[in-house]
Structure 1
Protein backbone atom coordinates (compact mmCIF):
# COMPACT_ATOMS: atom_id res chain seq x y z
CA UNK A 1 0.00 0.00 0.00
CA UNK A 2 1.36 3.40 -0.98
CA UNK A 3 0.98 5.63 2.07
CA UNK A 4 1.88 8.81 0.20
CA UNK A 5 4.66 9.79 2.59
CA UNK A 6 7.39 10.21 -0.02
CA UNK A 7 9.32 13.40 0.64
CA UNK A 8 7.43 14.28 3.84
CA UNK A 9 9.52 15.97 6.51
CA UNK A 10 9.20 14.05 9.78
CA UNK A 11 10.55 14.78 13.26
CA UNK A 12 10.58 12.02 15.90
CA UNK A 13 11.35 12.99 19.49
CA UNK A 14 13.02 10.39 21.67
CA UNK A 15 14.16 8.87 18.41
CA UNK A 16 17.66 7.58 19.11
CA UNK A 17 16.66 4.05 20.15
CA UNK A 18 13.77 1.68 20.80
CA UNK A 19 10.34 2.64 19.58
CA UNK A 20 11.39 6.08 18.37
CA UNK A 21 14.16 4.70 16.19
CA UNK A 22 11.84 2.01 14.85
CA UNK A 23 9.30 4.66 13.88
CA UNK A 24 11.97 6.76 12.19
CA UNK A 25 13.25 3.76 10.25
CA UNK A 26 9.80 2.91 8.91
CA UNK A 27 9.18 6.49 7.80
CA UNK A 28 12.45 6.37 5.87
CA UNK A 29 11.34 3.14 4.20
CA UNK A 30 8.21 5.00 3.07
CA UNK A 31 10.36 7.66 1.41
CA UNK A 32 10.09 10.38 4.04
CA UNK A 33 12.93 12.64 5.14
CA UNK A 34 13.43 12.08 8.84
CA UNK A 35 15.09 13.81 11.75
CA UNK A 36 15.35 12.40 15.26
CA UNK A 37 16.14 14.16 18.49
CA UNK A 38 17.38 12.98 21.85
CA UNK A 39 19.30 14.12 24.90
CA UNK A 40 22.23 11.73 24.54
CA UNK A 41 24.70 12.62 21.79
CA UNK A 42 26.32 9.19 21.89
CA UNK A 43 22.98 7.43 21.30
CA UNK A 44 22.21 9.81 18.46
CA UNK A 45 25.56 9.11 16.79
CA UNK A 46 24.99 5.36 17.17
CA UNK A 47 21.60 5.74 15.48
CA UNK A 48 23.24 7.72 12.69
CA UNK A 49 25.84 5.01 12.18
CA UNK A 50 23.08 2.41 12.01
CA UNK A 51 20.91 4.48 9.64
CA UNK A 52 23.07 7.05 7.80
CA UNK A 53 20.12 8.73 6.08
CA UNK A 54 18.79 10.00 9.42
CA UNK A 55 19.35 13.59 10.47
CA UNK A 56 20.11 13.91 14.18
CA UNK A 57 19.39 16.80 16.55
CA UNK A 58 20.63 16.87 20.13
CA UNK A 59 18.40 18.50 22.73
CA UNK A 60 16.24 18.06 25.81
CA UNK A 61 12.54 18.49 25.00
CA UNK A 62 11.80 19.37 28.63
CA UNK A 63 13.91 22.51 28.17
CA UNK A 64 12.19 25.48 26.53
CA UNK A 65 15.33 26.83 24.84
CA UNK A 66 16.27 23.38 23.54
CA UNK A 67 12.78 22.89 22.09
CA UNK A 68 12.92 26.14 20.15
CA UNK A 69 16.46 25.42 18.98
CA UNK A 70 15.40 21.95 17.87
CA UNK A 71 12.52 23.23 15.77
CA UNK A 72 14.69 26.00 14.32
CA UNK A 73 17.42 23.50 13.38
CA UNK A 74 14.90 21.11 11.84
CA UNK A 75 13.33 23.89 9.76
CA UNK A 76 16.74 25.13 8.72
CA UNK A 77 17.62 21.63 7.49
CA UNK A 78 14.31 20.62 5.88
CA UNK A 79 12.49 23.90 5.20
CA UNK A 80 9.24 22.80 6.83
CA UNK A 81 7.73 20.14 9.06
CA UNK A 82 4.95 17.84 7.85
CA UNK A 83 4.81 15.28 10.66
CA UNK A 84 5.70 15.44 14.35
CA UNK A 85 5.88 12.27 16.43
CA UNK A 86 5.89 13.05 20.15
CA UNK A 87 7.60 9.93 21.45
CA UNK A 88 9.95 11.19 24.20
CA UNK A 89 9.04 9.74 27.56
CA UNK A 90 10.00 7.70 30.56
CA UNK A 91 8.90 6.26 33.88
CA UNK A 92 9.84 7.18 37.45
CA UNK A 93 8.72 6.84 41.05
CA UNK A 94 6.96 3.99 42.86
CA UNK A 95 3.49 4.04 44.43
CA UNK A 96 1.73 7.37 44.94
CA UNK A 97 2.33 7.74 48.68
CA UNK A 98 6.05 7.05 48.40
CA UNK A 99 6.71 9.16 45.31
CA UNK A 100 7.72 12.79 45.94
CA UNK A 101 5.62 15.43 44.24
CA UNK A 102 8.73 16.54 42.37
CA UNK A 103 8.77 13.20 40.52
CA UNK A 104 5.16 13.67 39.43
CA UNK A 105 6.19 17.07 38.10
CA UNK A 106 9.20 15.56 36.30
CA UNK A 107 6.99 12.95 34.68
CA UNK A 108 4.50 15.55 33.51
CA UNK A 109 7.30 17.64 32.04
CA UNK A 110 8.79 14.72 30.09
CA UNK A 111 5.75 12.68 29.12
CA UNK A 112 3.17 15.41 28.61
CA UNK A 113 4.19 19.07 28.73
CA UNK A 114 7.11 18.59 26.34
CA UNK A 115 4.64 17.18 23.81
CA UNK A 116 2.27 20.12 24.33
CA UNK A 117 5.08 22.57 23.68
CA UNK A 118 6.50 20.68 20.69
CA UNK A 119 3.02 20.37 19.19
CA UNK A 120 2.44 24.11 19.44
CA UNK A 121 5.78 24.88 17.81
CA UNK A 122 5.23 22.41 14.98
CA UNK A 123 1.61 23.44 14.42
CA UNK A 124 2.65 27.06 14.00
CA UNK A 125 4.65 26.06 10.93
CA UNK A 126 2.05 23.53 9.70
CA UNK A 127 -0.62 26.24 9.72
CA UNK A 128 1.34 28.23 7.14
CA UNK A 129 0.61 25.56 4.54
CA UNK A 130 -2.64 24.20 6.02
CA UNK A 131 -1.42 20.65 6.32
CA UNK A 132 0.30 18.45 8.86
CA UNK A 133 0.02 15.55 11.27
CA UNK A 134 0.95 15.22 14.93
CA UNK A 135 1.00 11.73 16.48
CA UNK A 136 1.32 11.47 20.25
CA UNK A 137 2.65 8.27 21.79
CA UNK A 138 0.83 7.57 25.04
CA UNK A 139 0.11 4.16 26.64
CA UNK A 140 -2.72 1.81 27.49
CA UNK A 141 -1.89 2.79 31.08
CA UNK A 142 -3.12 6.27 30.24
CA UNK A 143 -6.60 4.71 30.16
CA UNK A 144 -6.33 2.37 33.13
CA UNK A 145 -3.97 1.86 36.06
CA UNK A 146 -1.16 -0.58 35.49
CA UNK A 147 2.08 1.33 35.28
CA UNK A 148 3.53 3.68 37.84
CA UNK A 149 1.16 6.46 38.99
CA UNK A 150 3.39 9.22 37.63
CA UNK A 151 3.42 7.56 34.21
CA UNK A 152 -0.31 6.77 34.20
CA UNK A 153 -1.25 10.36 35.00
CA UNK A 154 1.00 11.92 32.40
CA UNK A 155 -0.15 9.55 29.66
CA UNK A 156 -3.80 10.11 30.56
CA UNK A 157 -3.17 13.83 30.13
CA UNK A 158 -1.61 13.11 26.73
CA UNK A 159 -4.71 11.25 25.54
CA UNK A 160 -7.01 14.08 26.63
CA UNK A 161 -4.77 16.72 25.07
CA UNK A 162 -4.67 14.80 21.79
CA UNK A 163 -8.44 15.10 21.45
CA UNK A 164 -8.65 18.78 22.41
CA UNK A 165 -5.79 19.85 20.12
CA UNK A 166 -7.21 17.78 17.27
CA UNK A 167 -10.52 19.61 17.48
CA UNK A 168 -8.71 22.96 17.44
CA UNK A 169 -6.55 22.21 14.42
CA UNK A 170 -8.55 19.97 12.09
CA UNK A 171 -10.19 23.00 10.47
CA UNK A 172 -6.73 24.19 9.46
CA UNK A 173 -5.79 20.94 7.78
CA UNK A 174 -3.79 19.54 10.69
CA UNK A 175 -4.66 16.15 12.16
CA UNK A 176 -3.71 15.19 15.69
CA UNK A 177 -4.05 11.59 16.84
CA UNK A 178 -2.33 9.12 19.10
CA UNK A 179 -1.15 5.59 19.67
CA UNK A 180 -1.41 3.84 23.05
CA UNK A 181 1.00 0.90 23.01
CA UNK A 182 0.72 -2.03 25.33
CA UNK A 183 3.81 -3.83 26.62
CA UNK A 184 6.51 -3.90 23.96
CA UNK A 185 9.76 -5.86 24.11
CA UNK A 186 12.93 -4.41 22.63
CA UNK A 187 16.62 -4.57 23.60
CA UNK A 188 16.83 -1.14 25.28
CA UNK A 189 13.46 -1.20 27.02
CA UNK A 190 12.36 -1.82 30.59
CA UNK A 191 10.61 -5.08 29.75
CA UNK A 192 13.87 -6.54 28.44
CA UNK A 193 15.60 -5.63 31.73
CA UNK A 194 12.79 -7.21 33.74
CA UNK A 195 12.86 -10.31 31.57
CA UNK A 196 16.58 -10.76 32.22
CA UNK A 197 16.12 -10.19 35.96
CA UNK A 198 13.19 -12.56 36.46
CA UNK A 199 12.18 -14.64 33.42
CA UNK A 200 9.53 -16.68 35.25
CA UNK A 201 7.79 -13.61 36.64
CA UNK A 202 7.64 -12.00 33.20
CA UNK A 203 6.43 -15.24 31.61
CA UNK A 204 3.56 -15.29 34.12
CA UNK A 205 2.80 -11.62 33.45
CA UNK A 206 2.50 -12.26 29.71
CA UNK A 207 0.30 -15.33 30.22
CA UNK A 208 -2.04 -13.51 32.59
CA UNK A 209 -2.09 -10.00 31.08
CA UNK A 210 -1.68 -10.17 27.30
CA UNK A 211 -4.34 -12.22 25.49
CA UNK A 212 -2.12 -12.48 22.42
CA UNK A 213 0.32 -14.46 24.56
CA UNK A 214 3.41 -12.39 23.77
CA UNK A 215 4.88 -8.93 23.93
CA UNK A 216 4.34 -6.50 21.10
CA UNK A 217 7.18 -5.49 18.80
CA UNK A 218 8.56 -2.10 17.86
CA UNK A 219 7.58 -2.76 14.26
CA UNK A 220 3.94 -3.39 15.18
CA UNK A 221 3.69 -0.05 16.97
CA UNK A 222 5.61 1.77 14.22
CA UNK A 223 3.30 0.38 11.53
CA UNK A 224 0.32 2.00 13.24
CA UNK A 225 2.11 5.32 13.80
CA UNK A 226 3.18 5.60 10.17
CA UNK A 227 -0.31 4.69 8.95
CA UNK A 228 -1.87 7.39 11.14
CA UNK A 229 0.57 9.94 9.74
CA UNK A 230 -0.46 9.10 6.17
CA UNK A 231 -3.35 10.27 4.03
CA UNK A 232 -4.77 6.75 4.30
CA UNK A 233 -5.83 7.83 7.80
CA UNK A 234 -7.25 11.16 6.66
CA UNK A 235 -10.50 10.74 8.67
CA UNK A 236 -8.76 9.87 11.93
CA UNK A 237 -8.61 12.92 14.16
CA UNK A 238 -8.50 13.09 17.96
CA UNK A 239 -8.47 9.32 18.41
CA UNK A 240 -5.82 7.45 20.37
CA UNK A 241 -5.63 3.85 19.17
CA UNK A 242 -4.74 0.98 21.49
CA UNK A 243 -2.07 -1.24 19.93
CA UNK A 244 -1.69 -3.89 22.58
CA UNK A 245 -2.57 -7.45 21.57
CA UNK A 246 -5.71 -7.20 23.70
CA UNK A 247 -3.82 -6.21 26.86
CA UNK A 248 -6.03 -3.23 27.71
CA UNK A 249 -9.17 -4.03 29.68
CA UNK A 250 -11.02 -0.98 28.38
CA UNK A 251 -13.76 -1.55 25.81
CA UNK A 252 -13.92 1.97 24.37
Structure 2
Protein backbone atom coordinates (compact mmCIF):
# COMPACT_ATOMS: atom_id res chain seq x y z
CA UNK A 1 0.00 0.00 0.00
CA UNK A 2 1.38 3.41 -1.01
CA UNK A 3 2.30 5.71 1.86
CA UNK A 4 2.82 9.40 1.20
CA UNK A 5 6.00 10.71 2.81
CA UNK A 6 6.73 14.25 3.94
CA UNK A 7 10.19 15.19 2.72
CA UNK A 8 12.28 18.32 3.25
CA UNK A 9 15.05 18.85 0.70
CA UNK A 10 17.74 21.53 0.50
CA UNK A 11 19.16 22.62 -2.84
CA UNK A 12 16.16 21.30 -4.75
CA UNK A 13 16.13 23.39 -7.92
CA UNK A 14 19.07 22.08 -9.95
CA UNK A 15 21.37 19.11 -10.43
CA UNK A 16 20.92 16.13 -8.13
CA UNK A 17 18.53 18.04 -5.87
CA UNK A 18 16.16 18.88 -8.72
CA UNK A 19 16.22 15.25 -9.84
CA UNK A 20 15.34 14.11 -6.31
CA UNK A 21 12.52 16.66 -6.12
CA UNK A 22 11.09 15.65 -9.51
CA UNK A 23 11.15 11.97 -8.60
CA UNK A 24 9.48 12.53 -5.22
CA UNK A 25 6.78 14.69 -6.79
CA UNK A 26 6.19 12.18 -9.60
CA UNK A 27 5.69 9.50 -6.94
CA UNK A 28 3.11 11.61 -5.13
CA UNK A 29 5.02 12.60 -2.00
CA UNK A 30 4.71 15.94 -0.21
CA UNK A 31 7.91 17.94 -0.26
CA UNK A 32 9.33 21.26 0.85
CA UNK A 33 12.45 22.58 -0.84
CA UNK A 34 14.75 25.56 -0.56
CA UNK A 35 17.37 27.13 -2.81
CA UNK A 36 19.42 30.32 -2.99
CA UNK A 37 18.06 31.66 -6.27
CA UNK A 38 14.57 33.18 -6.33
CA UNK A 39 14.17 32.74 -10.10
CA UNK A 40 14.71 28.99 -9.80
CA UNK A 41 12.18 28.78 -6.98
CA UNK A 42 9.63 30.55 -9.20
CA UNK A 43 10.46 28.19 -12.07
CA UNK A 44 9.77 25.01 -10.10
CA UNK A 45 6.61 26.54 -8.59
CA UNK A 46 5.25 27.09 -12.10
CA UNK A 47 5.70 23.42 -12.88
CA UNK A 48 4.51 22.22 -9.47
CA UNK A 49 2.07 24.80 -8.01
CA UNK A 50 1.47 22.76 -4.85
CA UNK A 51 5.13 22.46 -3.89
CA UNK A 52 6.37 24.17 -0.73
CA UNK A 53 9.36 26.09 -2.07
CA UNK A 54 11.26 28.96 -0.50
CA UNK A 55 14.28 31.10 -1.32
CA UNK A 56 16.73 30.60 1.55
CA UNK A 57 20.38 31.56 2.00
CA UNK A 58 21.61 28.72 4.18
CA UNK A 59 24.71 30.69 5.15
CA UNK A 60 22.47 32.21 7.82
CA UNK A 61 21.67 29.37 10.23
CA UNK A 62 18.61 31.25 11.50
CA UNK A 63 17.20 31.11 7.97
CA UNK A 64 17.88 27.37 7.95
CA UNK A 65 16.09 26.87 11.26
CA UNK A 66 13.15 28.98 10.11
CA UNK A 67 12.86 26.96 6.91
CA UNK A 68 12.57 23.73 8.90
CA UNK A 69 10.01 25.20 11.30
CA UNK A 70 7.89 26.46 8.40
CA UNK A 71 8.20 23.13 6.57
CA UNK A 72 7.04 21.21 9.65
CA UNK A 73 4.05 23.54 9.93
CA UNK A 74 3.16 23.33 6.22
CA UNK A 75 3.67 19.58 5.83
CA UNK A 76 2.45 18.57 9.27
CA UNK A 77 5.78 16.98 10.20
CA UNK A 78 8.85 15.49 8.51
CA UNK A 79 9.52 11.88 7.58
CA UNK A 80 12.76 12.47 5.67
CA UNK A 81 15.27 15.34 5.70
CA UNK A 82 17.62 15.33 2.70
CA UNK A 83 20.70 17.53 3.14
CA UNK A 84 21.73 18.11 -0.45
CA UNK A 85 22.69 21.79 -0.70
CA UNK A 86 26.38 22.63 -0.83
CA UNK A 87 28.97 24.88 -2.47
CA UNK A 88 32.46 24.05 -3.72
CA UNK A 89 34.13 27.07 -2.18
CA UNK A 90 35.78 27.81 -5.52
CA UNK A 91 33.66 30.92 -6.15
CA UNK A 92 32.63 31.62 -2.57
CA UNK A 93 34.88 32.64 0.32
CA UNK A 94 35.80 29.97 2.86
CA UNK A 95 33.60 31.35 5.62
CA UNK A 96 30.51 31.29 3.40
CA UNK A 97 31.26 27.72 2.27
CA UNK A 98 31.77 26.63 5.89
CA UNK A 99 28.42 28.10 6.91
CA UNK A 100 26.50 26.47 4.04
CA UNK A 101 28.24 23.10 4.05
CA UNK A 102 28.48 22.57 7.80
CA UNK A 103 26.78 25.09 10.09
CA UNK A 104 23.51 25.01 8.13
CA UNK A 105 23.38 21.21 7.95
CA UNK A 106 23.89 20.92 11.70
CA UNK A 107 21.22 23.56 12.34
CA UNK A 108 18.78 21.83 9.96
CA UNK A 109 19.36 18.45 11.60
CA UNK A 110 18.97 19.74 15.15
CA UNK A 111 15.82 21.68 14.31
CA UNK A 112 14.18 18.75 12.50
CA UNK A 113 15.19 15.99 14.90
CA UNK A 114 12.14 16.15 17.20
CA UNK A 115 9.71 15.70 14.31
CA UNK A 116 11.91 12.98 12.83
CA UNK A 117 11.95 11.12 16.15
CA UNK A 118 8.15 11.21 16.33
CA UNK A 119 7.88 9.76 12.81
CA UNK A 120 10.81 7.31 13.07
CA UNK A 121 12.24 9.25 10.16
CA UNK A 122 15.54 9.62 8.34
CA UNK A 123 18.25 12.15 7.70
CA UNK A 124 19.97 11.66 4.36
CA UNK A 125 23.21 13.57 3.78
CA UNK A 126 24.69 13.82 0.29
CA UNK A 127 28.41 13.43 0.82
CA UNK A 128 31.25 12.97 -1.69
CA UNK A 129 34.13 10.61 -2.43
CA UNK A 130 36.36 13.70 -2.28
CA UNK A 131 35.85 13.68 1.50
CA UNK A 132 38.41 10.87 1.65
CA UNK A 133 40.65 11.94 -1.26
CA UNK A 134 42.86 15.03 -0.95
CA UNK A 135 43.15 16.30 -4.52
CA UNK A 136 43.73 19.95 -3.61
CA UNK A 137 42.89 22.26 -6.48
CA UNK A 138 40.90 24.74 -4.41
CA UNK A 139 38.17 22.43 -3.09
CA UNK A 140 39.82 21.80 0.28
CA UNK A 141 37.04 23.62 2.14
CA UNK A 142 34.41 21.49 0.40
CA UNK A 143 36.30 18.24 1.02
CA UNK A 144 37.00 18.97 4.67
CA UNK A 145 33.40 20.05 5.20
CA UNK A 146 32.03 16.77 3.84
CA UNK A 147 34.44 14.81 6.03
CA UNK A 148 33.52 16.73 9.18
CA UNK A 149 29.80 16.39 8.45
CA UNK A 150 30.16 12.63 8.02
CA UNK A 151 31.77 12.42 11.46
CA UNK A 152 29.26 14.77 13.07
CA UNK A 153 26.32 12.78 11.68
CA UNK A 154 27.86 9.49 12.82
CA UNK A 155 28.18 10.93 16.33
CA UNK A 156 24.64 12.37 16.12
CA UNK A 157 23.25 8.98 15.08
CA UNK A 158 24.94 7.36 18.07
CA UNK A 159 23.11 9.47 20.65
CA UNK A 160 20.59 7.32 22.57
CA UNK A 161 17.82 9.87 22.08
CA UNK A 162 18.21 9.55 18.29
CA UNK A 163 17.89 5.77 18.11
CA UNK A 164 14.53 6.04 16.32
CA UNK A 165 16.04 8.16 13.52
CA UNK A 166 18.11 6.53 10.76
CA UNK A 167 20.95 8.69 9.47
CA UNK A 168 22.27 7.75 6.04
CA UNK A 169 25.14 9.31 4.08
CA UNK A 170 25.12 8.78 0.31
CA UNK A 171 28.11 9.34 -1.97
CA UNK A 172 26.75 9.66 -5.53
CA UNK A 173 30.08 9.44 -7.37
CA UNK A 174 30.99 11.86 -10.17
CA UNK A 175 27.80 13.45 -11.47
CA UNK A 176 27.27 15.90 -14.33
CA UNK A 177 26.32 18.98 -12.31
CA UNK A 178 27.24 22.65 -11.96
CA UNK A 179 29.93 21.74 -9.44
CA UNK A 180 32.01 19.94 -12.06
CA UNK A 181 31.70 22.95 -14.35
CA UNK A 182 33.00 25.14 -11.53
CA UNK A 183 35.99 22.83 -11.10
CA UNK A 184 36.76 23.17 -14.81
CA UNK A 185 36.67 26.96 -14.65
CA UNK A 186 38.08 27.70 -11.19
CA UNK A 187 39.88 24.52 -10.14
CA UNK A 188 43.59 23.81 -10.61
CA UNK A 189 45.94 20.84 -10.61
CA UNK A 190 44.93 17.22 -10.19
CA UNK A 191 41.24 17.80 -9.45
CA UNK A 192 40.81 19.85 -12.62
CA UNK A 193 42.73 17.31 -14.71
CA UNK A 194 40.65 14.39 -13.40
CA UNK A 195 37.44 16.27 -14.09
CA UNK A 196 38.53 17.02 -17.65
CA UNK A 197 39.27 13.32 -18.23
CA UNK A 198 35.92 12.21 -16.82
CA UNK A 199 34.09 14.62 -19.11
CA UNK A 200 36.11 13.58 -22.16
CA UNK A 201 35.53 9.89 -21.41
CA UNK A 202 31.82 10.41 -20.60
CA UNK A 203 32.27 9.10 -17.06
CA UNK A 204 30.03 11.62 -15.33
CA UNK A 205 26.77 10.13 -14.11
CA UNK A 206 23.36 11.43 -15.14
CA UNK A 207 21.90 13.53 -12.28
CA UNK A 208 18.38 12.30 -13.11
CA UNK A 209 19.41 8.69 -12.55
CA UNK A 210 21.38 9.54 -9.42
CA UNK A 211 18.47 11.57 -8.05
CA UNK A 212 16.08 8.68 -8.56
CA UNK A 213 18.41 6.32 -6.70
CA UNK A 214 18.82 8.72 -3.78
CA UNK A 215 15.06 9.15 -3.63
CA UNK A 216 14.51 5.39 -3.42
CA UNK A 217 17.17 4.89 -0.76
CA UNK A 218 15.87 7.85 1.26
CA UNK A 219 12.29 6.60 1.23
CA UNK A 220 13.01 2.92 1.81
CA UNK A 221 16.04 3.15 4.10
CA UNK A 222 17.54 0.29 2.10
CA UNK A 223 20.39 -0.06 -0.38
CA UNK A 224 20.26 -1.63 -3.84
CA UNK A 225 20.86 -5.38 -4.09
CA UNK A 226 22.33 -6.16 -7.55
CA UNK A 227 21.44 -9.85 -7.22
CA UNK A 228 17.72 -9.31 -6.69
CA UNK A 229 17.65 -5.88 -8.40
CA UNK A 230 15.64 -4.53 -5.49
CA UNK A 231 16.26 -2.02 -2.71
CA UNK A 232 16.40 -4.64 0.01
CA UNK A 233 19.71 -4.32 1.88
CA UNK A 234 19.14 -2.74 5.33
CA UNK A 235 21.23 0.33 6.06
CA UNK A 236 22.65 0.95 9.53
CA UNK A 237 22.29 4.42 10.98
CA UNK A 238 25.53 6.34 10.48
CA UNK A 239 26.54 4.29 7.44
CA UNK A 240 28.02 5.77 4.25
CA UNK A 241 26.51 4.32 1.06
CA UNK A 242 28.33 4.60 -2.26
CA UNK A 243 26.08 4.32 -5.29
CA UNK A 244 27.35 1.38 -7.32
CA UNK A 245 27.79 1.08 -11.08
CA UNK A 246 25.27 -1.80 -11.01
CA UNK A 247 22.70 0.49 -9.39
CA UNK A 248 23.33 3.19 -12.02
CA UNK A 249 23.04 0.67 -14.84
CA UNK A 250 19.81 -0.82 -13.48
CA UNK A 251 18.06 2.54 -13.06
CA UNK A 252 19.39 3.79 -16.42
CA UNK A 253 17.88 0.81 -18.24
CA UNK A 254 14.68 0.97 -16.18
CA UNK A 255 14.32 4.70 -16.91
CA UNK A 256 14.38 4.07 -20.67
CA UNK A 257 11.58 1.50 -20.59
Aligned partners of 1:203, 1:107: CA distance in 2, in Å? 19
Structure 2 unaligned blocks of 5 or more: 223-233, 247-257
Tell me the equivalent position of 1:144: 133
Residues 180/39 of structure 1: CA separation in 2 closer, same or farther (3 Å cut): same
Residues 13/146 of structure 1: CA separation in 2 closer, same or farther (3 Å cut): same
Is this contact kept in 2: 1:179–1:225, CA < 8 A?
yes
Name which of 190, 208, 222 aligns with 1:219.
Answer: 208
Tell me the equivalent position of 2:167: 176
Name which of 96, 116, 130 aligns with 1:126.
Answer: 116
Tell me the equivalent position of 1:9: 6
Quote how far apart the aligned CAs of 1:168 are.
Answer: 2.1
1:165-204 to 2 correspondences below 5 Å: 165-168=156-159, 172-186=163-177, 189-192=178-181
Please report the TM-score for the alignment, with normalisation by the length of structure 1.
0.78
Name which of 138, 141, 144 aligns with 1:153.
Answer: 144
Quote how far apart the aligned CAs of 1:170 are.
Answer: 7.9
Residues 244/216 of structure 1: CA separation in 2 closer, same or farther (3 Å cut): farther
Aligned partners of 2:217, 2:158: CA distance in 1, in Å? 16
Quote how far apart the aligned CAs of 1:36 are.
Answer: 0.7
Quote how far apart the aligned CAs of 1:59 are.
Answer: 1.6
Aligned partners of 1:227, 1:169: CA distance in 2, in Å? 27
Is this contact kept in 1: 2:78–2:119, CA < 8 A?
no
Supply the RMSD in Å over aligned alpha carbons. Answer: 3.2
Structure 1 unaligned blocks of 5 or more: 95-101, 247-252
Is this contact kept in 2: 1:71–1:121, CA < 8 A?
yes
Residues 206/91 of structure 1: CA separation in 2 closer, same or farther (3 Å cut): closer
Aligned partners of 2:99, 2:184: CA distance in 1, in Å? 29
Is this contact kept in 1: 2:19–2:212, CA < 8 A?
no
Name which of 108, 111, 122 aligns with 2:98.
Answer: 108
Is this contact kept in 1: 2:131–2:147, CA < 8 A?
yes
Aligned partners of 1:192, 1:146: CA distance in 2, in Å? 16
Aligned partners of 2:134, 2:172: CA distance in 1, in Å? 14
Aligned partners of 1:193, 1:71: CA distance in 2, in Å? 29
Moved over 6 A (4+): 193-197
Is residue 2:58 matched to residue 1:61?
yes
